[in-house]
Structure 1
Amino acid sequence: MECLELAIPPLPSLVTVGHAMWVPGNCHFERSFDVYDVIFVKSGAMYMREDRVEYAIGGGQMLVLEPGKTHAGSAPCTEETEVYWVHFKHPAALRKLDAKEIPWSAVLPQGRDSDTRPADQTMYLPKHGDIPFGKLLPVLGQMVKLNAQLSVEHSLQLQTLFCELLETLQTEAKARQASRSSALAKETVLYLQNQWSEPFHSKSMEEALHFQFDHITRCMKKHTGMTPLQYVHHLRISHAVTLLAQTTLSVQEIAERVGIPNASFFGRLFRERMGITPGQYRIQRQRHL
């Protein structure tokens, strides 16, 4: 399944949502505007063209028409067709890629109390194809209802439902990826999350996951951006950050608790991840309390 990669934050902003029954002979008019137009077909079929690419949207399918491109009906409906549509505002997609290529397990930077802006992230939206209409219909129906009688009281609820819709679509795209390497990367992540405080041994990983360590490493690097050892260091430093903020333990004691007894090596890993030393982080944290 091809997906659009969208930069967040900010989250996409809902413009409008609607529902209609199209009769045979109806055909979408031609236009080009600067919002995304997402078409959901519950039953029947619609025929659309985006620039020079033609799409057939059958029952239980969707299509995302992108801002700045010209879209129009490529043929009239030949049967009664039930349609929902959603318009939302957001910058153009960063790129298109197959769901199997999306690094779902990639580690993202965690927000810190000293940060003044959110870290760059991404979300994914299926471009065209089958969707779990049974899951989407209650959300779409409620969105249409709220939009028809919109008030200040319900505007935030409408935007929240829109985000729920986007999350469901992304979850569906993720479910479509059947890559063996991504499955192994996910299994490795779970294993390491349970074993991060234990000494790191490649042989133990091979025995637990039933793959050679080199293959495990390639899969982890592809789908998370980290090797298994780098991911363990990531988990250990994350726990160290919590201990520095919430306890009075010395840096050496914290290093030992998170499985890095060499204080010098611990300090180097901490600085690489956090940009400052453990001591500087603790002082900075105390100043913000």
Structure 2
Amino acid sequence: MKCLELAIPPLPSLVTVGHAMWLPGNCHFERSFDVYDVIFVKSGAMYMREDREEYVIRGGQLLVLEPGKTHAGSAPCTEETEVYWVHFKHAAALRRLDAKDIPWSAVLPQGRDSDTKPSDQTMYLPKHGDVPFAKLLPALNRMVKLNAQLSVEEALQLQTLFGELLGTLQTEAKARPAPRSSELAKEAVLYLQNHWSEPFHSKSMEDALHFQFDYITRCMKKYTGMTPLQYVHHLRISHAVTLLAQTTLSVQEIAERVGIPNASFFGRLFRERMGITPGQYRLQRQRQL
């Protein structure tokens, strides 16, 4: 399944939602506008064209039409077709990629007390294909009802339901069969989460996961953006941050507790990840209390 990669935040904003029965002979008109148009077909079939690509949306499927592209019906409906549509506003997709290639395990920066804006993140939306209609239908029906009687009281609830709808669609994309390399990356991450405080040895990973370390490294790099050792350093610095904020242990003691006894090396890793030294971080936290 192809998916659209969208940059967040901000989250997509719902514009409108609707429901209709298309009769045989009905055909979508041609247009190009600056919103996403998500078409859900419950039963029957719709025939659409987006620029030069043609799609058939059958019962239990969706199609996401993108802003700035011209879309129109490529042929009239040949049977009674039940359709839901959702229009939302968001920036153009960063790219289109297969669900199996999405880096679901990629490590994102953690928010800090000193941050004034969120870090760059991404979300994923199936472009075209089967969707779990039974799961989506209650939310779609509720959204249609709220939109028809919209008031200040229901506005936030409507946007929240839309967010849940997007979450269900992303979960569906993630549930598609993943390649072995993706599964190995997840197993490697779990192994490191359980053994981060121990001395790092590539041979131990090979013995535990039954693959050569070079292959484990390639898989982790593809799906997390980090090598095994980089991921261990990430976990150790994350634990060090907690100890600096919640204890009075010295920097040297904390370095030893997280498995980096060389204080100089610990300080360099900490600064690379956090942008400041361990001492500066502790002082900053103390001033915020």
TM-score, with length taken from structure 2: 0.98
Q: Which residue of 1 aligns with 2:210?
A: 210
Residue 221 (str. 1) matches residue 221 (str. 2): yes
The SS at the match of 1:105 is coil
Q: Which residue of 1 aligns with 2:72?
A: 72
Q: Which residue of 1 aligns with 2:179?
A: 179
Shift of 1:220: 0.4
Shift of 1:258: 0.9
**Structure 1 Cα separation of the partners of residues 59 and 36 of structure 2:** 21
The SS at the match of 2:268 is helix
**RMSD between superposed Cα atoms in Å:** 0.9
Q: Which residue of 2 aligns with 1:190?
A: 190
The superposition leaves residues 175-199 of structure 1 with CA deviations (integer Å, 9 ceiling, x where unpaired) of 1252111110011111111111122
Whichever residue aligns with residue 153 of structure 1, its letter is E
Q: Which residue of 2 aligns with 1:59?
A: 59
The SS at the match of 2:230 is helix
Q: Which residue of 1 aligns with 2:264?
A: 264
Q: Which residue of 2 aligns with 1:110?
A: 110
The SS at the match of 2:175 is helix
The SS at the match of 1:256 is helix
Residue 7 (str. 1) matches residue 1 (str. 2): no
Where do 4+ consecutive residues of structure 1 move more than 3 Å? none
What is the aligned residue count?
A: 289
Aligned 1:150-189 pairs, distance under 5 A? 150-189=150-189
The SS at the match of 1:11 is coil
**Structure 2 Cα separation of the partners of residues 209 and 138 of structure 1:** 42
**Structure 1 Cα separation of the partners of residues 190 and 160 of structure 2:** 30
Whichever residue aligns with residue 17 of structure 1, its letter is V
Whichever residue aligns with residue 136 of structure 1, its letter is L
Q: Which residue of 1 aligns with 2:130?
A: 130
The superposition leaves residues 93-142 of structure 1 with CA deviations (integer Å, 9 ceiling, x where unpaired) of 11111112211111111111111111111111111111111111111111
Whichever residue aligns with residue 26 of structure 1, its letter is N
TM-score, with length taken from structure 1: 0.98
The SS at the match of 1:260 is coil
Whichever residue aligns with residue 26 of structure 2, its letter is N
**Structure 2 Cα separation of the partners of residues 175 and 208 of structure 1:** 25
Whichever residue aligns with residue 67 of structure 2, its letter is P
The SS at the match of 1:198 is coil
Whichever residue aligns with residue 245 of structure 2, its letter is A
**Structure 2 Cα separation of the partners of residues 13 and 2 of structure 1:** 22
**Structure 2 Cα separation of the partners of residues 133 and 205 of structure 1:** 41
Whichever residue aligns with residue 249 of structure 1, its letter is L
**Structure 2 Cα separation of the partners of residues 72 and 110 of structure 1:** 43
Aligned 1:9-28 pairs, distance under 5 A? 9-28=9-28
**Structure 2 Cα separation of the partners of residues 110 and 36 of structure 1:** 30
**Structure 2 Cα separation of the partners of residues 209 and 105 of structure 1:** 17
Whichever residue aligns with residue 6 of structure 1, its letter is L
Whichever residue aligns with residue 130 of structure 2, its letter is D
Shift of 1:246: 1.2
**Structure 2 Cα separation of the partners of residues 208 and 175 of structure 1:** 25
**Structure 1 Cα separation of the partners of residues 17 and 118 of structure 2:** 29
**Identity of paired residues, percent?**
90
- Between stretches 58-67 and 149-158, larger displacement belongs to 149-158
**Structure 2 Cα separation of the partners of residues 193 and 156 of structure 1:** 38
